[in-house]
Structure 1
Amino acid sequence: MPCWPWRQGWDAPWLGRPEAVLALLDAPTGLAGNMLLAALLDLGLPQAEIHGPLSALGLAGAYRLELEERRSGGLRGLHLEVLSLEPQPAHRLWGDLRSQLQAAPWPAPLQQRVLEVFGLLAAAEAAVHGHSPEQVHFHEVGALDALVDVVGVCAGLLHFGVEQLVCSPPPAGHGLVATAHGTLPLPAPAVLELARLRAIPLASAEGFPPGELTTPTGLALAACWATRFGHPPTHVPKRVGVGLGSRSLDRPNLLRLTLADHPWAGYAHLEHPAQLETVLVQQAQIDDATAEDLAFLAEELRQAGALEVFSQAIAMKKGRTAQLLTALLAPEQAERLRRVWWRHSTTLGLREHPQTRWVLPRRSRQLATPLGEVRLKQVQLPDGRWRSKPEHDDLAALARQHTLGIDQVRLVVQQALEAQPDANLPS
């Protein structure tokens, strides 16, 4: 493979960076590919990073980027328009475009991302038009501006080493839009299909004038890059890029792309750094169940897959005492646990919302002691040390077996742990 000048330094972000880059995409007035690319250019993306891969695709001289700093609602940002210079724009099937992308002399990460975005667009267009993805025409997923947007955005995010992207739910718009297939309702059918395929939440367009706010290309890019849609995690903003839309609204028409550090960024050198994950929180206030019934419900929730279940005493109206029961769970377990709530509790409703949490690396170990084996729960701290805690059930079993106090057993276990320093080292 030839070493194109625009490839220099591209592979580095994917071969191991000292810190994982967190990107936050705020899209209060919707998403479009040119807006996202403008935000990347506002962050300082060199245009060569866009032109290089497109030139390798055979598109040198086929387009021009018109980039201009403007104001929208009193706020500055960059506005980008992709102008076609092709006298006769090409028209081809998705299968032809896919072969062209697969043959492009690009770094593997760029090729994989671009193919994923266009593949998702083709699947959405095929679904709304009722035919196979192979029959989707070039003007639907491969128009020149879409190629520039998709290749440019993927190249830009790779250039900045983005490994996590959190996107706010974008409003899709309402009314009608003119397309190659005639006048279509909004949200655009392909936008709805993309949201359905990837379970993407769409914000309300209430209060916006009629018109398209989120385009299929913009949403497909977000769908393929975002680790989740929702509120941003705790972070330290480092750089902000602003991309402006073309329409005039009653508010700033923009999106903001923030490159940020999270509070654990300084520990990214560890072999097993803390991981950010999303859990679901389910809660109900219960004032008409016995303590035994609540204990049974909590245990059934744990058996059904809850990561944790806990309760808090609360006071409700008319002075009634009650319990606030909370379950933490993986999002894919939501429906299974809802069935447990409906089956074993008296609640008439269930609150449910996503929440992010940082999780330190954990493992289980067997520790040999003079009294017998004990299971250890171990967690790796940010400085690399491992902290150990013996399983209480094993301590209790040894206390009964040897007719000792549980505090005596715990002391023996601690001495055994100190005598085996490798038990606290990473495996």
Structure 2
Amino acid sequence: MTKLAYFECPTGISGDMCLGALVDLGVPVPYLQEQLRGLGINEEFDLQVNWIDRHSQQAVQVHVDLQTAPTPTLATATGEPAAPTHPHDHPSSEHHHHLPHRHLPEIEQLILSAQLPEQVETWSLDIFRNLAIAEGKVHGIEPSQVHFHEVGATDAIVDIVGTCLGLHWLGVDQIFCSALPTGGGTVKAAHGYLPVPVPAVLQLWETRQVPVYHNGIDRELVTPTGAAIATTLAQAFGPPPPMTLQQIGRGAGTHDLPLPNVLRLWLGEPSPSPSPSSALPSLSPQETVIVLETQIDDLNPQAVGYTFEALLAAGALDVFTQAVGMKKSRPGILLTVICHPQTVSACETVLFTETSTLGIRRSQQQRTPLDRQFTTVNTSYGPVQMKLAYHQQSLVNVQPEYEDCARLAQTHGLPWRQIHQAALSAWYQQ
């Protein structure tokens, strides 16, 4: 069964609050420490975990204790405060004004060399790359040219990779997030005072069209690291999806606020919508997908097939082409890619490197997937896996898996459709 995670952020989100909530859900601290050791920066930090009280609610506070002395100011490429001024103030976390400061390629190399679980590696790289894109847009430079004091700081690396490790350890398949509070006021940075939300956070929100609101607290509530985690991993923002709640993890910020300074991470499984008037009731909640499009009139057709395979390997949900007429009466193709937000960066990289496109359009859409389960039927030719699709707990579609049918057809020298029909007959006769 699909496992859902929902970030409820009444007082914002930061990397250390995410880590705290995950530890509260049972992610072992020794596991995090062991996996993070693979990054090769173990001598730069120590992970401190405490259970504290916030408005009579117990929550876990995780602090990345840096072993390097802080520098007095930030670099010019970030809008992070130069002193602990936001409500998640954890003296050496999220402000990222500590040495060493690394560029994006260095961060990518650390992650790629750490032998992390594949999903953790993908999530972590996507978060850093999306933050690089946001910082680059703010400062008018290419993402690869951004000098990351914010992302390059050790505590940010630990927060982001640690959060991805925790979600993977819990077996999370789909991630959702509440609307985010804007905060208010100003924070001090290298170039003086900046308005809250700081520019990088605002850029990330704009890119994902995040719903925001003001909760009456004029402080920095969402940090760039927290915003990057949420906008990269969350498939949708808003109320929680229909789910059966199994656990709640609470991650604490440092300051006491008018509201409990706690991020609550809900963990559960999809359930039918309780509302009979719901427009699209489904066992699976609506999810956000990104649609990438580009029109091409000068690409070798052989490259199209290779690009399809590369896109699917990069995490695309679907890839297809349509014939189009282009300028100067040239025949061309419209290449469309559907993917989750967290794989946009990887899919765009494939399009830019494997095709002749000069630009990619991006749009955000909602889709309602059916809940899917798998079972195996035995035919006279051999076993075939069947994909079952459910709508409101009712079976609405059954299909034999293509690869199983193809394998048996080749083994027995029979038409593929004969195996396909035999599998369907075996299913309906059982």
TM over 0.5: yes
Q: Percent identity?
A: 36
- 1:94–1:142 contact (8 Å) kept in structure 2: yes
Secondary structure at the counterpart of residue 124 of structure 2: helix
Q: How do 1:158-177 residues align onto structure 2 when only pairs under 5 Å count?
A: 158-177=168-187
Q: What is the alpha-carbon distance in structure 2 between the residues aligned to residue 143 and residue 63 of structure 1? A: 11
1:261 alignment partner, one of 265, 269, 283: 269
1:114 alignment partner, one of 105, 124, 127: 124
Q: What is the alpha-carbon distance in structure 2 between the residues aligned to residue 67 and residue 110 of structure 1? A: 22
1:69 alignment partner, one of 39, 45, 51: 51
1:246 alignment partner, one of 250, 254, 265: 254
RMSD of aligned C-alpha atoms? 3.3
Deviation for aligned residue 1:69: 1.3
Q: What is the alpha-carbon distance in structure 1 between the residues aligned to residue 3 and residue 144 of structure 2? A: 36
Cα distance change, pair 386–108 in 1 and its aligned pair in 2 (3 A): closer
- 1:276–1:357 contact (8 Å) kept in structure 2: yes
- 2:271–2:283 contact (8 Å) kept in structure 1: no
Unaligned runs of 5+ in 2: 70-97, 273-281, 289-364, 373-387, 399-423
Secondary structure at the counterpart of residue 119 of structure 1: helix
1:93 alignment partner, one of 103, 106, 114: 103
Cα distance change, pair 53–149 in 1 and its aligned pair in 2 (3 A): same
Q: Deviations over 1:87-144 (max 9, x none)?
A: 5821232222223322332222111111000001111111111211112113121211
Secondary structure at the counterpart of residue 180 of structure 2: coil
Q: How do 1:123-142 residues align onto structure 2 when only pairs under 5 Å count?
A: 123-142=133-152
Counterpart position of 1:219: 227
Counterpart position of 1:34: 16
Counterpart position of 1:290: none
- 2:370–2:390 contact (8 Å) kept in structure 1: no
Cα distance change, pair 63–180 in 1 and its aligned pair in 2 (3 A): farther
- 1:49–1:156 contact (8 Å) kept in structure 2: no
- Taking structure 1 as the reference length, what is the TM-score of the superposition? 0.59
- 1:49–1:152 contact (8 Å) kept in structure 2: no
Q: What is the alpha-carbon distance in structure 2 between the residues aligned to residue 380 and residue 170 of structure 1? A: 33
Cα distance change, pair 43–125 in 1 and its aligned pair in 2 (3 A): same
1:57 lines up with 2:67 in the alignment: no
Secondary structure at the counterpart of residue 138 of structure 1: coil
Cα distance change, pair 385–186 in 1 and its aligned pair in 2 (3 A): closer
Counterpart position of 1:406: none
Q: Deviations over 1:14-39 (max 9, x none)?
A: xxxxx211111110111111001100
- Taking structure 2 as the reference length, what is the TM-score of the superposition? 0.59
Q: What is the alpha-carbon distance in structure 1 between the residues aligned to residue 2 and residue 179 of structure 2? A: 23
- 2:40–2:110 contact (8 Å) kept in structure 1: no
Q: What is the alpha-carbon distance in structure 2 between the residues aligned to residue 28 and residue 132 of structure 1? A: 34
- 1:50–1:151 contact (8 Å) kept in structure 2: no
Counterpart position of 1:84: 66
Q: For structure 1, which segment, 70-79 or 212-221, has the greater mean C-alpha deviation from structure 2 after superposition? A: 70-79
Deviation for aligned residue 1:171: 0.5
- 2:270–2:285 contact (8 Å) kept in structure 1: no
2:214 alignment partner, one of 201, 205, 208: 205
Query: Which structure would you say has the larger Rg?
Result: 1
Counterpart position of 2:30: 48
Q: What is the alpha-carbon distance in structure 1 between the residues aligned to residue 214 and residue 170 of structure 2? A: 31
